[in-house]
Amino acid sequence: MARSSSTRNTQLEDDAREKRLAKQRAYQQALRERQRKERKPSRDDVARTVLFWLFSGLTANNKAAAFRQLYNDVLPMLIDQGFDEAKAAERIEEIYDRYEAGWAFRGKGHLKDRPDFDEMFGDDR
């Protein structure tokens, strides 16, 4: 029995989509590899470092008022993105509590060969 025209079109669309996704995966993998070799930080690397800097500064200097302001500014932004208010508040407080308890920064292992890494972030190897 011959396939219907719509079944053939769906198969062609699926094949085209798979090829496009495979090409995109290969591109992203090559981009990440090139950036790793160049030691270029990703957006997430920068965000993680800023988070460390911000929370470490707030906790080390006992800046409860500054943390409350950060909390009051960030929580509505998370809610606007569709996150549950109570869960978002819980997550912000969890992160703050971890830093307050001495949570160590976790840098990328392949970058730890810098002599000043431990001085900047502590030895968490």
83 vs 4 pLDDT, higher one = 83
Give the model's pLDDT for residue 121.
54
Each residue of 14-26: pLDDT tens digit? 899 999 999 999 9
Amino acid occupying residue 57: G
* pLDDT on residue 119: 59
Return d(Cα 63, Cα 65) in angstroms, integer.
6
Q: Please compute Rg for the chain using Cα positions.
A: 23
pLDDT at position 36 over 90: no
pLDDT, mean of residues 40-52: 89
Q: Report d(CA 49, CA 107) in Å as an integer.
A: 9
**CA-CA distances (angstroms) from residue 20 to 9, 28, 33, 55, 121?**
16, 12, 20, 41, 41
Across 54-73, average pLDDT: 88
Distance CA 98, CA 55 (A): 9
Domain layout of the chain by residue ranges: 1-40, 43-121
For the chain, give the mean pLDDT.
Answer: 83
On the question of pLDDT at 124 being above 50, the answer is no
Determine the pLDDT at residue 21: 93
d(CA 9, CA 15): 10
**pLDDT tens digits for range 71-118:** 999 999 999 999 999 999 999 999 888 888 888 777 666 666 655 555
